Structures are given as structure tokens and as C-alpha cells.
Amino acid sequence: MRVLITGAAGFIGSHLVDRYLNDGWNVVGMDNLLTGDMENLIAAGGHPCFSFVHCDISAPWPASISDSGGIDLVLHFASPASPVDYARYPLETMRVNSIGTQNCCEAALTWGAQFLYASTSETYGEPLQHPQSESYWGNVNPIGPRSCYDEAKRFGEALVMAYWRSNGLPGRIIRIFNTYGPRMRRSDGRVVPNFIAQALGGAALTIFGDGRQTRSFCYVDDLVEGIVRCADSSATTGVIVNLGNPKERTILDFAHTVSDIAAVPLRVEARPMPQDDPSRRCPDISRAKELLGWEPRVSLEDGLRRTIDSFAKAGNE
């Protein structure tokens, strides 16, 4: 079996590469390295069943890829994903989720491959329904600073559904809630790498706003398990599935947990709340439980311990 993974050098994409190689698949990774990093593919690099194509999936694909048959599954994970990254690359973000998604859908159709699109909890915007179930349409500012990501992902979702309805593409969509783990980029600006790098460096933890906004943090291994099950399931074609950890906590509480596990006294530095930063976010994962028999297993404490260890190790190399 052969899987093509876009965004293979990214945080989640590279964990997927390792998982599918481990499961005995042949894996083709694509990435333009805009926000991804080849360091994330060091483990996969020497594997005989792994190949990597450095290219922009929003541009016409190299013939070596588009003419190659025998791809059974396409996982589309290429996109800047942190608020800092997509603010820096708004047009690239819109392109990869629109033209890039179309290129992926066309390729999957040509190959007769299964398809999975990585969407996001950001499609719910500032949610008026809590927790967020897949049937909720969201509350997104269509022209705000986050819109390049939120609306691009919403467009990508609509595109996949259109390919499924009109062309019979066996596509499914996952909405990924906040995920963390080893290989997050230290400088990606998200709360997990920021707090860990700050704690390890003896700096104050930067809390945006009053810290009462909530998020629900899912360890990357749990997410990957959910993705593999979703991609493998015939019950998910034409369906959207939330994947995330339903344990909601405030950012202030999260700061306490990080400093406890890093064994440093908590010091905080207040920063202004960014515009349109969602005040609450928590997945309803009933559908994932029902269709995939999936729910997260790794506690925040265990996941953070592993993540902090990996950051500490990388810092010493």
C-alpha cells in the first residue's frame, strides 16, 4: 500500500510519515518547506520505503508524482497552521488550501485513491455553541486577520464535499483541535512551544489577555491514531469528523501545568489579546467515538512531559 502525504515535513505530517512507515506502507512525502523542516524527517530519511518530493503542491505537480500510479491514499496536511505562520504567509495559506486542495483531489481521483483533508477547529471561529459538534456552522470573521486560514479551510472543506458529491471522490475531512507534541517548531508562536521554550529558558510565560480563554490540548500520537482510523474507514467518506481532546482548560491553568512539569516557578507576563482570538474551544468527539471507536488516551501531564523532554533535548544538541 502506498500513501502520499502533503506537508510531510511539518509537525503532524512528519508523525504521519513515521506511523505509516511503521505500519508497513510505502510513503511519498511532499513539502515546500515553507514552515516545515527536513529535521522532522530524519528518522524517515533512511527508510527504504520513503521518498520525498520538494515541491509546492499549489503549483502544477512534477510529472514524477502526477504520472506515478499506485497511490492508495492521499493525506492533505500541507498548510501553515499557527496564527503567527498564517499571518506571515496569508496568500500561501489561501493557495495551498484552495488550489493545493484541488490538485490533491484531482490526483486522488486519477489514481482512484482514498482522500483525507486536514481541516481545523478554526472553521468554528468564535463559537456560539459549546462544545463544538460537526453540525455547528461556526462564527467566523470572514475578513479578519485569521480569515486567510479559517476561510481557506472552509473553502477546502466545501471543495472536498463538491468532489465527493459530483465526482464520487472518496474524501473525508477531519477538523483538528489544538494538538501538541515533539517537533512543534519552537518559533511557531503557538502557546505550547512558547510556554515550553519560555519555561526552559527561565523566561516569564507570555499570557495573551487575561488567560481565561480556553483550549483543549490533544497529544500528537492520539491525533495520529484518529487520523489513521478515519482514513481507513469507509463510514467516513463525505463526512466531517472532529479530532481533539475534549478536556478543556484555561490558558492560565495550562501555564501552571507547564511550569509544574518543567519544575520551574510560574512567572507570567501579560500581553494584549490578539484580534479574533477565540474565547472558548472544545471538541464534541461523539462522532469520532461512534464511527472510529476513538478517543484520546494520553493525559496532558504525560504528553507535556514527553514534549518538554524533546524540547530540552533539541535545545542541548
Residue among 234, 215, 231 nearest 283 (CA)? 215
Assess 207 for contact with ligand UDP (CB under 6 A). Answer: yes
How near is the Cβ of 167 to ligand UDP at its closest, in Å? 32
DSSP 121: G
How near is the Cβ of 295 to ligand UDP at its closest, in Å? 20
Kindly tell me which of 72 and 276 has the beta carbon lying closer to ligand UDP. Answer: 276
User: Is residue 149 annotated as a catalytic residue, yes or no?
Assistant: yes
Kindly tell me which of 234 and 275 has the beta carbon lying closer to ligand UDP. Answer: 275
Residue among 11, 4, 5 nearest 190 (CA)? 11
How big is the chain, counted in residues?
317
Neighbours of 23 (CB within 10 A): 11
Kindly tell me which of 145 and 238 has the beta carbon lying closer to ligand UDP. Answer: 145
Binding mask 128-167 for ligand UDP (x = CB under 6 A): ----------------------------------------
Assess 191 for contact with ligand UDP (CB under 6 A). Answer: yes
Please identify which residue in 213, 236, 259, 307 interacts with ligand UDP, judged by CB under 6 A.
213
Assess 251 for contact with ligand UDP (CB under 6 A). Answer: yes
Sort strands 214-216 and 248-250 into parallel, antiparallel or unpaired.
antiparallel
Q: Which of 149, 163, 180, 219 is catalytic?
A: 149
Binding residues for ligand UDP, rule CB under 6 A, total: 14
Nearest-angstrom CA–CA distance, 245 and 283? 7
Max Cα–Cα distance, the chain, nearest Å = 57
Distance of CA 310 to the CA centre of its chain: 19
Burial of 233 (0-12, 13-18, 19+ CB in 10 A): middle
Using the Cα atoms of residue 6, residue 32, residue 198 and residue 250 in order, give the sign of their dihedral.
Answer: negative
How near is the Cβ of 203 to ligand UDP at its closest, in Å? 11
Kindly tell me which of 36 and 193 has the beta carbon lying closer to ligand UDP. Answer: 193
Please identify which residue in 274, 276, 295, 310 interacts with ligand UDP, judged by CB under 6 A.
274
Please identify which residue in 7, 36, 83, 244 interacts with ligand UDP, judged by CB under 6 A.
83
Which cell goes with 311?
524540547
Assess 190 for contact with ligand UDP (CB under 6 A). Answer: yes
Nearest-angstrom CA–CA distance, 251 and 71? 41
How near is the Cβ of 256 to ligand UDP at its closest, in Å? 13
Please identify which residue in 215, 226, 262, 294 interacts with ligand UDP, judged by CB under 6 A.
215
Nearest-angstrom CA–CA distance, 247 and 77? 24
Residue among 227, 225, 16, 242 nearest 116 (CA)? 227
Assess 277 for contact with ligand UDP (CB under 6 A). Answer: yes
Chain residues in the site for ligand UDP (CB under 6 A): 82-83, 178, 190-191, 194, 206-208, 213, 215, 251, 274, 277
- What residues are annotated to the active site? 149
